[in-house]
Chains A and B, each alone.
Chain A
Amino acid sequence: MSTTPQALSDPSDASASQKPRGGVIDLDPMTRVGGALGVRVTTDGTRITDAHAAGNFFRGYETLALKRDLRDVMPIVSRACGWCGGAHMTTASLALEMAFEMRPPPMAIGMRTIAQATEAIWVHAAHLAVRAAPDYCASVVAKTTPRLWAKARVAKAPGASIHGYGTIADLMEGMTPLTGRYWTETLPAGRRVQEMISMFYGKFPHPSVAAPGTVAATLSWATFTEYFTRLVASVDYVKQVCALWDDLIAFLYEADERFLTLGQRPASFIHAGCWDDVRSAYTYEGLDENGRARLAPPGVMIDGNIETRNLSEVHAHITEHVDHSFYDTEVEGGHDRRGDSLPDGHPWTQRNIARPAQRDEQGAYSWCAAPRWGGHVVESTPLGRLWLTATRDDFPTNDFIEATGSSIRILVPMNFQPETIVEWKIPERVNALERLRADAYGIAFAGLCAAITLLKGFELMRTGEMEQSIPLDIPEDETMGVGLWETGRGFNAHWLRGDAGRVTNYQIISASTLNASPRDADGRPGPMEEALIDSPIIEESSGDELTGIDAMRVIHSFDPCMNCANH
């Protein structure tokens, strides 16, 4: 990394040279993220004192959607992200279903839920192995923290019988990018998941088998059984990944307690929920009811307190700031679908106009906008999703998943390895490692949510409810819709306005728009910046020698995807 030493102390002073020196670490371009991101952090040698995260690219999907036939926005906006194109397509579909007042048949909703939960498996698994794990691989740990590496070499991995790594050092060897066992085993496992998604969506990325309110896959017995055999073939991988991350995280906490505060920030989350019940109807008036029936629930949590679980309230208080982003805004109406007024800066009331400029940390520095909820800085990660799930008392009755109030118990079925109950517990703090642990358990959660819905699909097939589509009636007059949904990495929403069958405004906010956002109107840092600031420097080098690994670990814990974020 290129580092610029700061004159914090005179290096010729013998006593001062003992103290770690800081500097500016310029992680621009940041690697192992979706799209283009540049992060600049300032450190004093023991902790990070300042951080700026800059979305480094822009394509203009909100403008590309304009003036198009309303029906066409799905295949257009799905291209905003190649990691979770299905989620963007589904979100667009929900916005259209609300605008067209359509009620998709149960089988279409069921197939969508299965495909979407499967897409989440892929997003979690790929993120953990390809983007996050290399930060903890053997060569990196040995180079940046020799003392930690010495401990890892003698630390037995408690889950060795499940994941097959004898010591923590073995596990770290496995995390080596391109050649490590974890990396090379995840690619074929991920391919199987990509096959599963393709069965319902035709294509992955960017489904070709969806229209508003419809999943167009021609269903046969083979569809569900071929999917089912691959799901079963994936369960051992799920057990291994949970055990592997549990072992790594336990070791790191034990070996150096600074990992507890690495990437820490308040427990403030926003989630829209996803994976609909087959009988749900998505309407503006019925948002709360629809949200409650979702397998992953909506909600907002501020400092560990749940502010709301009503999807309508999650939606109503969102505002988007562009004070430090390369945009101007234009006001566009001030009311919601019912005619009620919305707060200034709500995405239904404005549009963003690109204004390219030089990067200026006092002024505009990012292609990412800064969404807030009710003025609060909120993140959206699998950690928040699991937290809101664990604390709900209305989780639908099912055979696999139980929300206990303080944990989620997930029954992972037998394959070559025995049936296992994996339990995710609400952590004491929100930090980098807990975000990654939630990603790992998120695979189990998403996988079994898919299984729950698959059983409902079989049931619909038995009872003959095989309708998958309904005719489209395109409203000729002015219309509005909002799709509230989630990708694997968190919140996703599309706001639509249409007139005469064409799009007149389209606004997108995704999980990474929230997480990687720059400062807002009040100068408050975005969640990732907030997590970086005050985070400890654990690596043993200092000054010029700083590699920035601790900042990288914090950044990767958010799985930032600037494709979604900047669109």
Chain B
Amino acid sequence: MADTAAARPRYDPQDPFAPTAVRSMLQISSPAEAGLRMGPIEKIYLIWLAGGSCDGCTVAVVAATQPPVEKLIAGLVPGLPRVELIHPGVALEAGAAFTENLAMAERGELDAPYLIVWEGSVFENDSSGEGAFYRLGQDRDGRTTSSTEWLSRLAPNAAAVVAIGSCAAWGGIPAAQGNVTGSIGVMDFLERDYRSALGVPVVNIPGCSPVGDNFMETAAGVLLFLQGMGPLPEFDELGRPVWIFGETVHRRCPRGGYYEEGIFAEAYGEKECLVELGCWGPVVQCNISERGMVNGIGGCMNIGGICIGCTMPGFPDKFAPFYAVPPGTLVSATTSRVFGGFIRRMRGVTQQDKNITGRWEGKDKPSGWARFQSRPTKSAKLVHKLYRAYQNTKIGN
């Protein structure tokens, strides 16, 4: 059957089972929403598609608060357009009515621009739906389609393609040793010359799963730019947001101070630096140690887990075996033990002096908690004296 307008089923926008995009055309901005809008774009479709995914990126985005997804959908984030979400995980409609959303986007019938967010690896050889690793609906002539095929069809006219999670960005676990599905990343699939309708290459938000807010913040940043308000967010040579992935996770790690002083955990559950248990943090580009996982809570090293490099293109195979010590650690940790150990002892001496008020000098501390002598050794006393003398020369400088 030819896919002509006459042959297509007609959907009633009042029907709750009509395609989201059809129902959306009826929706008029509420006064509250219109009052919050500050740019030319009133609405944008977010088409969420998946390949070799686990839904984990969806779950992570639900946890985001900057802004929360329910506010974005309702159009209640100042400055941002209302986001019309077309996601198989939340859509009311199923079957052909769901895939009709995608067909409308392909035919250019949506009443607003659309973003594609791709979760999971791309099954490279799933060009047709028959025998596919991900079947996603049928064309009107009854031919089965694959999710990969929809990516090929929709990417050229998308405002942007965002690859969420390490599987979408680099291939991830489905593309690792034992890959039987032909899994690759979105960039690999769309290739180097791909540009979206707005001229943007694939944006990558890696992580397994990523921090939900890393996605939301980037999406919100791009939308603010499109509204003419924000600056253009900065991306690195692999399409990662620079302010998120520009630093190693170790530089912002709450256990980094232990590394500096050469103190390392010997067993899980200990509070010190985890590199000798297998943590790859010093070379991995990620911000979870600063941002936490959900609402600032959690985070790998924050809680006690080693970094296994889940945001990196080399994940997982180049970081395995995860529970063995990274080879580079032998050099760096030994260096840190020697120099950090010396610094730590020096700090201990200074700290001893700073724990004594002027009144306690040369006496017992008046604490009922323990018996403390405020009488440092002669050599420590000399060090304290020299240290303070030097400290005082800084006055006015």
Contacts and interface: CB of A to CB of B under 8 A. Distances in A.
A23 B397 CA distance: 88
A69 B321 contact: yes
Interface size class of B (residues with CB under 8 A): 35 or more
A75 B316 contact: yes
Interface string B317-353: 0001111100000000000000000000000000000
A202 interface: yes
A36 interface: yes
B135 A198 contact: no
Contacts of A16: none
A503 to B, nearest CB: 10
25 contacts: A34-B89, A35-B55, A36-B134, A36-B147, A64-B176, A64-B178, A64-B179, A72-B316, A72-B323, A75-B322, A76-B176, A140-B16, A177-B92, A191-B294, A191-B295, A195-B298, A199-B303, A202-B298, A202-B300, A208-B305, A208-B308, A209-B305, A211-B268, A217-B303, A563-B55
* Secondary structure of the B contact surface, majority rule: loop
B99 to A, nearest CB: 7
B17 A29 contact: no
Contacts of A19: none
A130 B144 CA distance: 28
A83 B56 CA distance: 6
Contacts of A211: 268, 323
Interface stretch (B35-43, B58-66, B363-371): B58-66
Contact of B298 (A69, A199, A357): A199
Contacts of A32: 88-92, 94
A58 B95 CA distance: 19
A206 B208 contact: yes
Contacts of B120: 59
Given A29-B135, A33-B88, A59-B174, 14 more contacts: A2-B97, A29-B88, A33-B89, A69-B321, A72-B323, A82-B58, A143-B15, A187-B62, A203-B298, A208-B306, A214-B268, A217-B303, A218-B303, A563-B54
A125 to B, nearest CB: 11
Q: How large is the interface on A (under 10, 10 to 19, 20 to 34, 35 or more residues)?
A: 35 or more
B114 to A, nearest CB: 17
Among A57, A67, A179, A187, find the residue whose CB has the most chain B CB atoms closer than 10 A.
Answer: A57
B90 A217 contact: no
A219 interface: yes
Given A68-B320, A548-B95, A59 B52 contact: yes
B80 interface: no
Interface in B212-270: 267-270
Nearest to A561: B55
Contact of B293 (A58, A143, A204): A204
B297 interface: yes
Interface in B183-207: 183
B299 interface: yes
Nearest to A367: B133
Interface stretch (B68-76, B105-113, B153-161, B377-385): B68-76
B300 A469 contact: no
B135 A56 contact: yes
A67 B178 contact: yes
A188 interface: yes
Contact of B90 (A57, A137, A177, A471): A177
Given A82-B55, A203-B299, A217-B304, A27 B94 contact: yes
Contacts of A28: 94-95, 135, 137-138
Interface of A: 1-2, 25-36, 38, 54, 56-60, 63-69, 71-72, 75-76, 79-83, 85, 126, 130-131, 134, 137, 139-140, 143, 177-179, 183-184, 187-188, 190-191, 194-195, 197-211, 214-219, 226, 354, 356-359, 466-469, 471-472, 547-549, 552, 561, 563
A352 B88 CA distance: 28
A467 B70 CA distance: 41
A83 B121 CA distance: 18
Contacts of A81: 54-56
B319 to A, nearest CB: 9
Contacts of A137: 16, 92
A134 B87 CA distance: 14
The 9 closest A-B pairs by CB, nearest first: A82-B56, A198-B298, A468-B269, A216-B268, A208-B305, A209-B305, A2-B96, A69-B321, A202-B303
Nearest to B68: A187
B75 to A, nearest CB: 11
| B271, B293, B295: residue with the most chain A Cβ atoms closer than 10 Å | B293
B269 A217 contact: yes
B17 A203 contact: no
Contacts of B304: 202, 209, 216-218
B55 A202 contact: no
A79 B172 CA distance: 10
Contacts of A547: 17
A198 B303 CA distance: 8
Contacts of A60: 174, 178-181
A29 B99 contact: yes
B130 interface: yes
A134 B20 CA distance: 14
